[in-house]
């Protein structure tokens, strides 16, 4: 009986993340470094089961995914302006996040789940505009540098 309980616990543990986190990201007009129109964290390391909460600390921002710039099977999301939005991570891989009105000013973030960068080319090929595209490229390079 004891062995059965242990086996069951191990099986459940392999499916349901035991230490799922809520990761809070603020949408800001300016961060401590003086950068304007930014997410408080731009390279977001997460695991399946985590919830990433984008918080409307300052108004006139949103957070949303970009078509074809998220893992296969992962549900897209689109927050309303000046509203918090949650993103439940269900798949490993990369997700690009933009603030629609400020992506051209570089208000973007990259979520890396499970240290899986296999869809990096999809992210690079997706339609992210202006300074946001340059920053996403830099964030992918930064994520690659954290591997190995
Ligand atoms: Cu914004």
pLDDT at 128: 97
Mean pLDDT computed over every residue of the chain: 92
Q: How far is CA 102 from the centre of its chain?
A: 17
Centroid of ligand 1 to alpha carbon of 110 (angstroms): 15
Longest dimension (CA), the chain: 61
Q: How far is the CA of 2 from the centre of ligand 1 (A)?
A: 54
Q: How far is the CA of 48 from the centre of ligand 1 (A)?
A: 26
How far is ligand 1, taken at its centre, from the CA of residue 61, in Å? 4
Calculate how far, in angstroms, residue 122's C-alpha sits from the geometric centre of ligand 1.
23
User: Can you tell me the mean pLDDT for 27-48?
Assistant: 97
Whole-number Å distance, alpha carbon 5 to ligand 1 midpoint, is 49
End-to-end distance of the chain based on CA atoms, in angstroms?
42
**For residue 15, pLDDT beyond 70:** no
Q: What is the pLDDT of residues 93-148, one digit of tens each?
A: 999 999 999 999 999 999 999 999 999 999 999 999 999 999 999 999 999 998 86
Give the domains, in start order, of the chain with CATH numbers. 19-146 (2.60.40.420)
For residue 123, what are its two tokens?
């992210």
Q: Read off φ and ψ for residue 131, nearest 5 degrees.
A: -65, -25
The owner of tokens 């629609």 is: 100
Answer yes or no: is pLDDT of 80 > 60: yes
Q: Tell me, what's the pLDDT at 16?
A: 57
Distance 32 CA to ligand 1 centre (A): 16
What's the CA-to-centroid distance between 100 and ligand 1, angstroms? 7
Distance 88 CA to ligand 1 centre (A): 21
Structure tokens at 43: 């390279």
């Amino acid at each position: 009986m004891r062995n059965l309980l242990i086996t069951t616990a191990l099986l459940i543990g392999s499916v349901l993340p035991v230490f799922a986190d809520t990761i809070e990201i603020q949408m800001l007009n300016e961060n401590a470094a003086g950068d304007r129109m930014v997410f408080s964290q731009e390279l977001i390391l997460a695991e399946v089961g985590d919830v990433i909460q984008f918080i409307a600390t300052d108004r006139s921002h949103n957070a949303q995914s970009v078509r074809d710039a998220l893992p296969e099977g992962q549900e897209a999301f689109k927050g309303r302006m000046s509203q918090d939005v949650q993103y439940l991570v269900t798949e490993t891989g990369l997700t690009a996040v933009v603030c629609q009105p400020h992506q051209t000013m570089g208000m973007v973030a990259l979520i890396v789940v499970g240290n899986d960068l296999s869809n990096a080319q999809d992210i690079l090929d997706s339609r992210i505009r202006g300074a946001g595209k340059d920053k996403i490229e830099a964030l992918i390079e930064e994520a690659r540098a954290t591997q190995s």
